[in-house]
Amino acid sequence: MEASGRTHVRWWRWRRNPLRRRVDVVEAWVVPVGWVLALLGGLFAGLTASEAVDLAVERQRAQSHEVRAVLVRDAPGPAAARAAGDHRVWGTVRWTAPDGSHHREEARVPPRAAAGSTVAVWVNREGDLTGPPVSGGEAWLHSAMGGVLAGSFAGGTVIGTLWLTRLALDRRRLAMWDAEWERVDTRRGWKTG
C-alpha cells in the first residue's frame, strides 16, 4: 500500500487561492497580532507591576524607622505551644516618638527579658508601632512574583481573547460552508443530507 499523497501547503491563508475566504485572511492577521500583543502586553504588565511593588517597598522603608524602647515590666517566658520561628512574646514597652511624644504599647520582645532593658521596635512617622520593612530578599521575591503574576494574567487575557476570536471565526466559516452547500444542493434540485 502506498502512503497518502496529501501535501501540506504552508501559509495558505496568505496566498491567493480560490478556497481562501475573508474569514481566513482575518484569522491570518488576528493570530500573529494576538501573539505579539500577548507577549508585549504581558511584558509591559509584568514590568509595571514589578516597579509598583518596588515603589511600595521603598515607601514602606521611608515611612518606618527603628527606635529603642524600654521594657516596662518583666516579659513572660515562652509559651508551651509557640509559632515556628518566632520565639518572642508580648510585653509592654515605652518609647519616645520622633516628634517628642511618649508612647506605651504592647510589642514583641524576647522571652524573660528584664524590666528596664531596651528592645528595638519599628515605628511609622506618627510614632505608632509597625512591623519591620521587608528585607532585600523579600522585596526581590515580592517584586518578581508580582511581575510574573501580572504578566501571566495580562498575556493570558490576550490569549483567551484570541482563542474566543478564533472560535467566532470558525463558527462564521462553518456557517459560510453550510450556506454554500445549501446553494449547491438547491441548484441541482436535490439534497445531500
Report how many domains make up the chain.
Answer: 2
Residue 168 placed within a domain: yes
Residue 10 placed within a domain: no
Same domain, 53 and 143: yes
Q: Which domain holds residue 109?
A: 65-79+86-132
pLDDT recorded at residue 20: 76
**At which residue does the C-alpha cell 528584664 appear?**
114
Q: pLDDT tens per residue, the chain (193 residues)?
A: 566 676 766 766 667 777 778 888 888 889 999 999 999 999 999 999 999 999 999 998 888 888 888 888 888 877 766 555 667 888 889 988 777 788 888 888 888 888 888 988 888 887 788 888 889 899 999 999 999 999 999 999 999 999 999 999 999 989 988 888 877 766 666 665 5
Same domain, 118 and 74: yes
Q: How far apart are CA 76 and CA 80, in angstroms?
A: 12
pLDDT recorded at residue 150: 97
pTM of the model: 0.68
pLDDT recorded at residue 54: 94
Q: How far apart are CA 124 and CA 38, in angstroms?
A: 41
Residue 159 grid coordinates: 490569549
Backbone angles phi, psi at 16, to 5 degrees: -75, 130
